[in-house]
Amino acid sequence: MDEQNSRYGEVYRAWQRDPESWWAEAASGISWRKTWDRVFDPMIGPYGAWFPGAMLNTSENCLDRHVAAGRGGQLALVWDSPLAGRIARFTYAELTARVARVAGALAALGVSRGDRVVIYMPMVPESAITMLACARIGAVHSLVFGGFAAAELAARIADAKPRVIVAASCGLEPGRVVAYQPILDAALALSPHQPEACLILQREMAPAVLTPGRDHDFLTAEAGANPADPVPVLATDPLYILYTSGTTGRPKGVVRDHGGHAVALHRSMGMVYGVGAGDVFWAASDVGWVVGHSYIVYAPLLAGRTTIMYEGKPVGTPDAGAFGRVIAAHGVKALFTAPTAMRAIKQQDPEAKRFTSHDLSRFEALFLAGERCDPPTAEWAAAKLGRPVIDHWWQTETGWAITAGFRGLGLFPFKPGSGGRPSPGYDLQALDEAGVVLGRGVSGSLAVRLPLPPGAAPTLWRNEDGFRDAYLRDFPGWYRTGDAGMIDTDGDVWVMGRTDDIINTAGHRLSTGAMEEVLASHPDVAECAVIGAQDALKGQVPLGLVVLKAGVNRPLDEISAELVQLVRERIGPVASFKAALVVPRLPKTRSGKILRAAIRRLADGEPANPPPTIEDPAALDDIAAALQSR
């Protein structure tokens, strides 16, 4: 669709002219119990708050109001699990009834408005049901991804201080059952904070042994509970906390509020994805990530669509045609996934024959995000699937797209490698190091002029100073995204990579700093560096380089294997940390800073291009030799 025929420019300019009126109009898509005092108050929190004084209930907006409008019989959630060999369907009426009972079960355990509930569940309907049940009674959920180790779960429990933990007995990965109970028990042994109770969803593949006095069976508690009515909460109250990687081992607790979140996500379903009421939308992500929160659970339900929850992989469950099967089976109109998934399919089925052997007649568009999409993958997907491929860029912090192709506004130019145009709500610019706005085509730090729009994080959990330090300090008046890139002469945004030590592995956001902390804790390691090296499937994978303490003369393979195991134990399998190379020294500047960028370039087969301040250029030869002998 070309520029002239699209409404994007007109809509973006309308937002620019009068942001508050624009968002007030968007807010009419939400049912409020009480309207706001002001659309935006710049005096609340680190940069302001949207819809202060207003009251609503997010679960009521996702469920009850659709039932009340006569759409109770429409499908709300379809669970498709090739790993469990099951498909389950829930209408809006059925989902509302289950959510109300689980909310009642939580209330019976003493959970009320403002209490936190940690959810440690895989891709089962009960994870979405529990999220919505928390929202129904005003409790704040914090869902933890199943691929993290006990220490990461413990860090989240310690910070969120939940009254109750809701967990499943296991998750399913191809070829293995991941028992959650040992991980939960180990996390609770590590955490200084203990919940009052745990609700455990028993899955038959690996039932848990319940701890008397602490654990309750999820389904029994649900069956015995009185359904809970939606509790009105303030628009500015927290809906959830989602922990994400920062630059250290300590994850950041990104907070989402009720009101702005509901308004922005509701608006995005039509504007960005172009799917209407009753359409089937599928985000092939995990509920443990922001994509799962926003586009498996909240946005499609806020907007009355049918959402798909898929417990499987793009390949291997059973083959590279899995996505085509799901699209055909449930009539999916738009699919949202990570470029890694497309690369995995492309590797196993270069002509996409298995994918396209299914009935794709209702499938209209493919949306990609989570990591930069390399142009060959975007071009391959567009050619093989014969549908628009739309890249969009966002972060856990923003909760929805900062830039996108706007299918609902008729603007989705295919420019492989670009993330599209800024969403209405985002005044995005590339800045130089002094915070000066750069011209078109010039690369810099991508930053959003404050305030952030509704839906974006208002703060970090009980850590406003941390929010200011991480995002607002470097460029006063702006939100620093942490991504580098440029805006071209057409206004399209090119996001080229992080400016900090965060890497993206298979669309998962990881901190190399956190991995360095783990490696440094090994008794034989004197110093270390972890970089993100290019990977044909996962985009980037972490690579560790360690210098051993003087006098250590154990076999290097043994030490490397211990380091790989240590990262798996402390951070989790999701880190995909498979290589730790022992090197005699690390290249540094004269002031002692490790030259990670030069190491990364070497690992990617490029010239190291060290800065002139390098202390000992020969150290790079040692790295090159170690990389060669891998």
Instruction: Write out the binding residues for ligand COA, residues 269-298 only, by CB under 6 A.
Output: 284-286, 289, 291
x-or-dash string of contact with ligand COA, 503-522, rule CB under 6 A = ---xx---------------
DSSP 48-73: -EESTT-EE-HHIIIIIHHIIIIITT
Any contact of residue 574 with ligand COA (CB under 6 A)?
A: yes
Please, are residues 61 and 238 in contact by the beta-carbon 8 Å criterion? no
Q: What number of other Cβ atoms are within 10 A of residue 260's Cβ? A: 28
Task: List the one residue from 61, 169, 244, 459 that touches ligand AMP (CB under 6 A).
Answer: 244
Instruction: For strands 75-81 and 116-120, give the pairing.
Output: unpaired
Binding flag, residue 482, ligand AMP (CB under 6 A): yes
CB-CB contact of 195 with 148 (8 Å)? no
Selected binder of ligand AMP within 246, 388, 419, 425 (CB under 6 A): 419
Helix intervals (H) in 32-124: 58-59, 65-66, 92-108
**Do residues 77 and 95 lie in contact, with contact meaning Cβ atoms separated by under 8 Å?**
yes
Using rule CB under 6 A, residue 576 touches ligand COA: yes
Query: Of ligand AMP, ligand COA, none, which one does residue 420 interact with (CB within 5 to 8 Å by kind)?
Result: none
For the chain, what is the radius of gyration of the CA atoms?
24
Residues 73 and 64 sit within 8 Å (Cβ to Cβ) = no
CB 80, CB 309: distance < 8 Å: yes
| Binding site partner of 146, from ligand AMP, ligand COA, none, Cβ cut-off 5-8 A by kind | ligand COA
Q: Which of 378, 326, 392, 385 is nearest to 352 (CA)?
A: 385
Selected from 115, 126, 222, 483, the binder of ligand AMP by CB under 6 A is 483
396 binds, among ligand COA, ligand AMP, none (CB under 5 to 8 A by kind): ligand AMP
Q: Is 482 in the site for ligand COA (CB under 6 A)?
A: no
Residue among 279 and 483 whose Cβ is closer to ligand AMP: 483
- Sign of the C-alpha dihedral computed for residues 91, 94, 98 and 99 taken in this order: positive
Give the torsion sign (CA, 447, 449, 452, 458).
positive
The answer to whether residue 147 forms part of the interface with ligand COA (CB under 6 A) is yes
Closest to ligand AMP by CB, 181 vs 244, is: 244
Is the CB of residue 135 less than 8 Å from the CB of residue 58?
Answer: yes
Kindly report the length of the chain: 630
Stretch that binds ligand AMP, among 6-14, 55-63, 206-214, 364-372 (CB under 6 A): 364-372
Residue 396 Cβ vs ligand AMP, minimum distance, rounded to whole Å:
3
Site string for ligand COA, 335-354 (x = CB under 6 A): --xx-xx--x----------
Number of residues that bind ligand AMP (CB under 6 A): 20
The binding site for ligand AMP (CB under 6 A) comprises 244, 289-290, 369-372, 391-396, 419, 482-483, 495, 498, 504, 509
The binding site for ligand COA (CB under 6 A) comprises 122, 146-147, 171, 173, 178, 284-286, 289, 291, 313-315, 337-338, 340-341, 344, 370, 506-507, 537-538, 573-574, 576
